[in-house]
Amino acid sequence: MAYETFARTSVRVSNPTVSVTTDGRIAVNAAASRLFAKAGTKAVKILWDKTTCGIALQAAQKSDENAYSVSFSEGRSATIAAKSFLKYVGWSADRRQNLPAKWNEQAKMLEAQLPSIFVGAGAKRNTLRKEDAGL
């Protein structure tokens, strides 16, 4: 009998990772999820640096009007519904993008860089709308 090895479709990583999905969610792996849990994070603010395409998920109070809820999945990964943010920056990847991330303990935030090739269309469109409105 000839066996073949089934190739994994996901990779297990022990370093914090941020993933941007095609359906408008930002997911963090188990390592990043543990950092959020240790910091008592139940909600985050999404911070954006358009110059560097930098994104940060900073711990926030659930009562903050700019906070997004963090949905934990049984101690493993966590997700944030961020469709409006991704539309704002013009995210246009056709498949999930996994990005290395770094934890900033002082600021209680997870930082990553979005690949600039997937950013732009929506941000430009939002700028045009403001100009069209005479703002």
- pLDDT for 73-112, tens place per residue? 875 889 999 999 999 999 999 999 999 999 999 999 999 9
Q: How confident is the model at residue 121 (pLDDT cuts 50, 70, 90)?
A: low
Predicted local distance difference test score (pLDDT) of residue 6 = 86
Strands 17-20 and 25-28: antiparallel
Specify whether the CB–CB gap between 68 and 110 falls below 8 A: no
- pTM score: 0.79
Distance between CA 3 and CA 76 in Å, rounded? 31
Cα→Cα distances 67→44, 48, 70, 81, 125, Å:
5, 14, 9, 11, 24
Written as six digits, the tokens of 68 are 């997004």
Q: Domains of the chain: which residue ranges?
A: 17-132
Long-range contact set of residues 9-14: C-beta below 8 Å, sequence gap at least 24: 11/98
- pLDDT for 126 beyond 60: no
- pLDDT for 18-64, tens place per residue? 999 999 999 999 999 999 999 999 999 999 999 999 999 999 999 99
Predicted local distance difference test score (pLDDT) of residue 5 = 87
Q: Is the dihedral of CA 32, 114, 126, 95 positive or negative?
A: negative
